[in-house]
C-alpha cells in the first residue's frame, strides 16, 4: 500500500515517537525534533474512543487528521493507537450494557475509523492491553467492557473487521509488562503468547506484535524477552516497540547518574529484542521529557524532575537517544 513507503528513511530500523496536539500546534522546536529524527509517528491521544466518539452518533476526526497532516508533510508513516482498549472510553461507551450494542458499536467504530484512514495509517493497534496484569489461569484476558460484553471472541472480531476496512494496513496486537524478571511478568508473557498462537490457529489476520516498553527499575528478563521475540519471529510476525520510555521515580536522584541508568535499561531491553529479531519500528512514548505521562502518574518523591524520554526539556539528546541510535541507525 501507498502508506507503507516513505520517501526519506532516516534509520535502518524506523524510529519514531508519540505526538501531542498542544506542542504540535504551538512549538517549532517540538515539530523540528520530530521532523529531524522520526520515520514514523503515533499519537498519545486523538485516535482513542474518548477523542473520536464524543457521542454515540458522532465521529470527530479533527485531532487525528492533524497528526496525519503533520506525518504526511514530513514524509513519516503514521501508526494508529488504538481501536479496541478497555481504557479511554467516553462515559456513554462505559455505560454500554448489552452484547448487541457492544458488538454493533465496536464493529461500526472499526469500520468507520479504519475506513476514514484507509491507505493512510500504516499500522493499527487493533487490540491494546488484552492480557490481565496477573493472569493466574488461562486464558488470562483482562477484564473490561469488551470482554465482559462479548467474551474472548471480541479480539478476533476486531482484527477481522479491521482487515476488511483496510486490507493494506498492518494489524498489531499491543501489550506491556512481559519483559521483566519475576513470576507475574512470566505469566503475562505466557498468556500473551497463548493468545497470539490461538489467533494464528484461527487464521485471524494478525500481522505483528507490539510491545509497549514502559520500562522501570525492574530488571529486564533478557533470556525471557529474547525467547519471546524468537517465537514471534518463528511465527512470521512483525515485532514493534510501540511506547518506549522509562518510569524513573524509583531510580537514582542525580540526573546525570539517572540518565545512565535509564540508558542502560533501554540497552538491556533493545539488546534482548535485537538478539532475536529486527523490529519493524521502535517508537518512544513522547520525545522530550517536557511532555510525558510519567510525571503525571509517577512523580518523583525527591522533587527532581522525571527524565523518561530520549530528549531533555531543552531538546538536547540524552544517553537514551545514543542507545537507540546504536541499535536502530
Ligand atoms: O485533555 C484533557 C485536558 O483538557 C485536561 O485539562 C486534563 C486534566 O486532567 O486532562 C486532559 O486529558 C488527559 C489526556 O491524557 C491528555 O493529556 C486525560 O485526563 C488523561 O487520562 C490522558 O492520559 C493518557 C492515558 O494514556 C489515557 O488515555 C496519557 O496522556 C497517555 O500517555 C496514556 O497512554 C497510554 C497508552 O495509551 C497505552 N499504554 C500505556 C500508556 C501510558 O499510560
pLDDT in tens, 95-122: 999 999 999 999 999 999 999 999 999 9
Check: CB of residue 224 under 8 Å from CB of residue 189: yes
Q: Which ligand 1 atom is at minimum distance from the Cα of 285?
A: 32
Which residues are part of the catalytic machinery? 129, 243
What is the per-residue pLDDT for 9? 82
Q: Which of 60, 293, 294, 308 is the best mutation target for the ligand 1 pocket, counting ligand atoms within 8 Å of the beta carbon and taking the most? A: 293
The count of other CB atoms within 10 Å of the CB of residue 104 is: 12
CA distance 167 to 260: 43
What's the predicted TM-score (pTM) here? Answer: 0.96
**Residue 303, burial from CB neighbour count under 10 angstroms (0-12, 13-18, 19+):** exposed
297-316 pLDDT tens trace: 999 999 999 999 999 999 99
Report how far ligand 1's centroid is from the alpha carbon of 47 (Å): 12
CA distance 259 to 323: 11
Q: Which of 44, 91, 144, 296 is the best mutation target for the ligand 1 pocket, counting ligand atoms within 8 Å of the beta carbon and taking the most? A: 44
* DSSP helix/strand/coil, 123: strand
pLDDT at 59 over 80: yes
Report how far ligand 1's centroid is from the alpha carbon of 44 (Å): 8
pLDDT at 237 over 50: yes
Q: Which of 42, 85, 88 is the best mutation target for the ligand 1 pocket, counting ligand atoms within 8 Å of the beta carbon and taking the most? A: 88
ipTM of the complex as predicted: 0.94
Give the model's confidence band at 8: pLDDT under 50 very low, under 70 low, under 90 confident, else very high. low
Report how far ligand 1's centroid is from the alpha carbon of 134 (Å): 24
As for ligand 1, residues whose beta carbon falls within 6 Å of it are 44-45, 48, 87-88, 212, 243, 293
CA distance 125 to 172: 5
61-76 pLDDT tens trace: 999 999 999 999 999 9
Percent composition of the chain: helix, strand, coil (DSSP 3-state, to 5): 45, 15, 40
Q: Which ligand 1 atom is at minimum distance from the Cα of 292?
A: 32
Average pLDDT over residues 50-58: 98
Q: Which ligand 1 atom is at minimum distance from the Cα of 212?
A: 39
CA distance 31 to 20: 10
Task: Go through the domains of the chain in sequence order and give each one's CATH number.
Answer: 2-328 (3.20.20.80)
255-308 pLDDT tens trace: 999 999 999 999 999 999 999 999 999 999 999 999 999 999 999 999 999 999
304 Rama class: left (phi>0) / alpha (psi -120 to 50) / beta:
beta
Report how far ligand 1's centroid is from the alpha carbon of 109 (Å): 20
Fill in the DSSP letter of residue 306.
Answer: P
What is the per-residue pLDDT for 91? 98
133 prior amide bond cis, ω within 30: no
Amino acid at each position: 500500500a501507498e502508506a507503507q513507503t516513505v520517501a526519506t528513511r532516516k534509520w535502518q530500523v524506523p524510529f519514531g515517537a508519540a505526538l501531542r496536539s498542544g506542542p504540535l500546534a504551538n512549538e517549532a522546536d517540538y515539530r523540528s525534533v520530530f521532523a529531524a529524527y522520526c520515520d514514523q509517528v503515533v499519537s498519545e491521544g486523538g485516535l482513542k474512543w474518548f477523542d473520536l466518539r464524543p457521542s454515540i452518533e458522532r465521529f470527530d476526526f479533527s485531532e487525528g487528521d492533524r497528526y496525519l497532516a503533520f506525518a504526511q508533510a514530513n514524509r513519516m508513516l503514521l501508526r494508529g493507537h488504538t481501536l479496541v482498549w478497555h481504557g479511554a472510553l467516553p462515559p456513554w461507551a462505559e455505560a454500554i450494557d448489552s452484547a448487541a450494542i457492544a458488538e454493533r458499536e465496536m464493529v461500526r467504530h472499526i469500520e468507520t475509523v479504519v475506513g476514514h484512514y484507509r491507505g493512510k495509517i500504516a499500522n493499527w493497534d487493533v487490540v491494546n492491553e488484552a492480557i490481565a496484569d496477573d493472569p493466574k489461569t488461562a486464558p488470562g484476558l483482562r477484564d473490561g467492557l469488551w470482554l465482559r460484553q462479548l467474551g474472548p471472541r471480541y479480539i478476533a472480531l476486531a482484527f477481522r473487521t479491521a482487515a476488511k476496512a483496510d486490507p493494506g494496513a498492518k494489524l498489531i496486537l499491543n501489550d506491556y509488562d512481559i519483559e521483566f524478571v519475576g513470576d507475574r511478568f512470566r505469566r503475562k508473557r505466557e498468556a500473551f503468547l497463548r493468545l497470539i498462537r490461538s489467533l494464528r490457529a484461527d487464521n485471524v489476520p494478525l500481522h505483528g506484535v507490539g510491545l509497549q516498553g514502559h520500562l522501570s527499575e525492574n530488571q529486564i528478563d533478557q533470556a525471557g524477552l529474547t525467547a519471546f521475540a524468537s517465537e514471534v519471529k518463528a511465527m512470521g510476525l512483525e515485532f514493534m516497540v510501540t511506547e518506549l520510555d522509562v518510569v524513573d521515580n524509583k531510580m537514582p536522584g542525580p540526573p546525570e547518574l539517572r540518565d545512565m541508568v535509564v540508558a542502560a535499561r533501554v540497552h538491556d531491553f533493545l539488546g534482548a529484542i535485537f538478539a532475536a529479531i529486527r523490529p519493524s519500528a521502535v517508537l518512544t512514548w513522547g520525545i522530550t521529557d517536557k511532555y510525558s505521562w510519567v510525571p503525571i502518574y509517577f512523580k518523583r518523591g525527591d522533587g527532581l524532575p522525571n527524565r523518561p524520554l530520549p530528549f531533555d526539556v531543552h531538546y538536547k539528546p540524552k544517553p537514551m537517544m545514543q542507545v537507540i541510535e546504536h541499535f536502530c541507525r
